[in-house]
Amino acid sequence: MKINFLKSLILTLSLLAGYGSFSQGTAYLQIINTTADPSLDTIDIYINGNVYDTTNVVFHSVIGFYSITPDTNITLTIAHHHSTSSANGIKSFYLGSLTDNKSYALMLAGVNTTGFEPNPNGRDTSFTLYEISQIDSTSPDTAALDFKFFQGSTDLPSMKIVERTSHQLIVPDVLYGDTTPYIQLHHRLYEFQLISSDSTQNFGTYIADLSNYAGQVGIIFTAGFLNPLQNDSGPSLGLYMALSGGTVVQFTLETSAFQLIHNCADTAADSVDVYLNGEMIYQNFAFRNATPALILFAHAPYDIALAHKNSTSVNDTFWHNRFVFQPDTFYIATMSGLINPGNYAANPDGKNTSFDVLMKTPAQYTSSSNVNFDFFLIHGATDAPAVDLTPEGGPTVITGAHYGDETNYISFPPDFYTFNLNDTTGNFLGGYFANFPAYAGQSGVLLVSGFLNPAANNNGPGLGLYMVPIAGGPFVPLFLTTGINHVSENKKVEIFPNPATNQLFIHLNVSGTKNASLAITNLTGQTVASLLNNASITGEHILAADVSNLSAGLYFLRLTTYDGVSNYKFVIARGF
């Protein structure tokens, strides 16, 4: 029943039921703030001009029951929080008089501002009040839970609830604003799957543990937005139960996580459009970028498709697949290979380099130790042979990874490392600096990316070693550290602390007298600080350098004398 002729529907929902046993000569009123409009996330409620029990009533909270004399006419006024009186109200609802010895649950629902999606079934979603009356206090069956279901999400189409494992229809078709008659369920654990009435859409599966509610009565309801980003970033869709004693239970949504990584070096796929269930979710998703870990509904089918950039619809896709993700499972999908392999160099190990999406599951969402950084390596360079990965000064941790391989996870303490990448015949492909302290307790992916020989591959991107964290975004390059000369016997240099933060000390110990220049350079060889300029030095010196104005990263200390140039690497870790 809609109150005060308002053609609105509730947005998120609410509710509660009878409160113990009710005495004669009194009606009972309960009010629930179920509107998901962010402008009404907290409200004040007045009854006949008097503040109702408490102010600052938050989203999907339940207050009451409130004893009402049956022959009293009731006007309910809603105001923004921190109001001073009912004169500050934004909307009032005239209820008339209530029936003796009956209990009423009133749901404040709908949206009061603009910028929200219309209801898919054309129902009015203006801010209004819905009534659920004649609420029972106990179930007639002491082994069952009795509940009414209220559909309170403004952007949710006509829907039903099916028990996932038994396929039992729990709640028949309901539209936004509708309430069902009482439904009775035996007390046990259920998996409530919310699906559209035509069974074409899945809105998530919720664990509804009803084991401890035998003999009780409640209202189960939806609340929040199916598409928060299209609704002023309001609260997400949820499934709740309000019991007659006043407790509100939020059922747990079963979810999985999915991350997409673009490591396809084919120049024809320098960026792509990504579609999810026919809707574009990323436009011009660029090479060497990754999505964040997207939270998706478990047990729900997802069609994931890729199209060339500037596509007009999902019909333009060149790759697609259908997935049903398992709960509490993380999936990492990596775009790899070549759309037109005939235009590129063949893999030296004879591996197929056609375009593919590699799937790692189950992937790790965090470090196994909560301290280390855990990663697995993907060999994604189509023209490169199998590779080994060895931390400088340590044993080889990855051996013989071929193109297309995804290794097992490796866990490293949070420290700075130089990783040497070699092919399996011993050819050195590069040394790469890794900043793992910045990712302590996290997990990620290391990728061999690009072409070993760009000139033979349409001048595509060159080979590199990159890292992708769970947060996604552009790949994090592991900078090359090659070309560092060894310290000669007559030029001894020590750098401390290393890593540095704001100040660096350089200990020089040279034999004889020499003219020397000392500079700090970045990874491109550009001088960022000059410490000595052709100065005459003899013996032992300690120099202090202010590096507080330099960005975090890897740098080199370059010592130049008449007999050559020596480079010494150091790290500025501040803010890295």
Residue (of 65, 53, 75, 62) closest to 28 by Cα position: 65
Q: How many CB atoms lie within 10 A of CB 187?
A: 19
Give the Cα separation of 150 and 134 in Å (integer).
15
**pTM, two decimal places:** 0.76
DSSP-derived 3-state class of residue 500: strand
- The model's pLDDT over 85-106, given as tens digits with 9 standing for 90+, comes to 999 999 999 988 888 888 888 8
- The model's pLDDT over 242-256, given as tens digits with 9 standing for 90+, comes to 887 778 899 999 999
Please compute the mean of the pLDDT values over residues 419-441 and round it to a whole number.
Answer: 89
Please compute the mean of the pLDDT values over residues 109-121 and round it to a whole number.
Answer: 94
State the pLDDT at residue 8: 30
Which residues, at least 6 apart from 393, have a Cβ–Cβ distance to it below 8 Å? none
Contact at 8 Å (CB) between 497 and 568? Answer: no
533 or 8: which carries more pLDDT confidence? 533
| Domain ranges across the chain | 1-250, 255-482, 491-572
Contact at 8 Å (CB) between 538 and 515? Answer: no
Asked whether the predicted pLDDT for residue 33 surpasses 90, the reply is no
DSSP state of 460: -
- Paired residues of 417 in beta bridges: 434
Q: How many CB atoms lie within 10 A of CB 246?
A: 15
Contact at 8 Å (CB) between 408 and 427? Answer: no
Residue with tokens 């209530």: 98
Burial of residue 120 (CB within 10 Å: 0-12, 13-18, 19+) is middle
DSSP-derived 3-state class of residue 278: coil
State the pLDDT at residue 220: 93
State the pLDDT at residue 363: 96
- The model's pLDDT over 153-164, given as tens digits with 9 standing for 90+, comes to 999 999 999 999
Residue with tokens 């190990």: 349
Give the Cα separation of 151 and 487 in Å (integer).
74
- The model's pLDDT over 311-343, given as tens digits with 9 standing for 90+, comes to 999 999 999 999 999 999 999 999 999 999 999
537 or 368: which carries more pLDDT confidence? 368
Amino acid identity, position 352: N
State the pLDDT at residue 486: 38
Give the Cα separation of 323 and 370 in Å (integer).
30
Task: Catalogue the long-range contacts made by 481-490 (C-beta closer than 8 Å, 24 or more residues apart).
Answer: 481/418, 481/431, 481/432, 481/433, 481/554, 481/569, 482/428, 482/430, 482/431, 483/567, 484/556, 484/567, 484/568, 484/569, 485/564, 485/565, 485/566, 485/567, 486/566, 487/566, 487/568, 488/563, 488/564, 488/566
pLDDT band at 67 (very low <50, low <70, confident <90, very high): confident
Which residues, at least 6 apart from 162, have a Cβ–Cβ distance to it below 8 Å? 168, 169, 170, 192, 193, 195
State the pLDDT at residue 20: 38
Is the domain covering 491-572 a CATH 2.60.40.1930 domain? yes
Antiparallel, parallel or unpaired: β 57-58 and 473-474 = unpaired
Residue (of 35, 31, 9, 2) closest to 231 by Cα position: 35
State the pLDDT at residue 179: 93
Please compute the mean of the pLDDT values over residues 526-545 and round it to a whole number.
Answer: 86
**Worst-scoring range by mean pLDDT, 337-341, 438-442, 480-484, 556-560?**
480-484
The average confidence (pLDDT) of the chain is: 87
Give the Cα separation of 136 and 216 in Å (integer).
9
pLDDT band at 72 (very low <50, low <70, confident <90, very high): confident
Instruction: Tell me the percentage of the chain whose pLDDT exceeds 70.
Output: 92
pLDDT band at 29 (very low <50, low <70, confident <90, very high): confident
pLDDT band at 481 (very low <50, low <70, confident <90, very high): low
State the pLDDT at residue 277: 94
Give the Cα separation of 540 and 490 in Å (integer).
12
Give the Cα separation of 57 and 64 in Å (integer).
12
